[in-house]
Structure 1
Amino acid sequence: MDIILTVIKGDITKVEADAIVNAANTSLLGGSGVDGAIHRAGGKDILEDCQKIRNKQGKCKIGEAVITTGGNLPAKFVIHAVGPVWSNGTKNETELLTSAYTNSLNLAIQNNIETIAFPNISTGIYKFPKKEAAIIAINTVNSFEDNLNIIKEIIFVCYDDENYTIYNNILKK
């Protein structure tokens, strides 16, 4: 079965999907950018779930992902994926970003999620080059596709015009 890949420009906190992915930091306690927006829009239930996870396992490692309620969001779940900070490709950033997407998809499957929305992980304050990050995201999803019999649609939610154009150009090829 083919998965529908969609690219939209907009606010991930308003996307109607079974799960949205948060470009989280290792603390899981909210921050700036997408992370702060999701925590603000989703309300205290998301933070409380994150605190329970931290109490159980500690911080979330780079490349890993955890799942919480969607709180007040249209999405039922939030998958918090920690992407790498860009260090000119010297600290396994490509592998870590791939891992963040892979671990998010694994959590989606484990939780019977049919629609999942991804932001442009690590491309904001973490400064991962946008085109390289988009290629990693799309290639990871495409290479994972054989294992995605539960997931029906993956939505890439781009906050800015630059990412939106990059994703559309890559997907048209």
Structure 2
Amino acid sequence: MLRNYRDRNLDVVERITTNIRNEELAEAAHTAHSLKGSSGNIGANQVHQYAASVEQHCRNDQPAQALDELKNLRTTLQQVIDGLAQLDEPADESAPIESNANIDRDELPNLLQQLEGYLDTDLRQAGALLKDIQQKAKGTEFSHALAEIEQALNEFDIDTSKTIIGRIGQQM
């Protein structure tokens, strides 16, 4: 999901700039709106704010202000994209996790609490921890719910992920 965000937005600032210079402000606003939404979904809050500002300037027929704000957007978006470059680095396979159908019931609540915290701060860490939990709980009554969390996370549906975590906690 994060690779998709990165790949989709590599040239988004240039596309918006071209739209503005071609006096296609509605298209520029639409593109900025899409960037705003996807950035909010992954927690790229500064990009979200700058994209919202560019969108508003375009909707208010203020191309000069939109172009000025694009400078800030370009800088912050590039920082996010650079950070997402880590996704292309090979995974550390030095210590594979063995399947454990008897996950420690004292450990699972702590792992789920950690996962819930990452959902608010670092979706990459959340994804990695979820994979770890899924491996440890493979073949247990929690496997299906953990797969539901994975699906919700892939759709950037943080609230549903948290709801499912709460449901697992109640089962324990």
Q: Do the structures match in fold with TM over 0.5?
A: no
Measured against the shorter chain, the TM-score band is under 0.3
Q: TM-score, normalised by structure 1?
A: 0.24
> Which structure would you say has the larger RCO, counting Cα contacts within 8 Å and 6 or more residues apart?
1
Relative to its length, the structure with more helix (as a share) is: 2
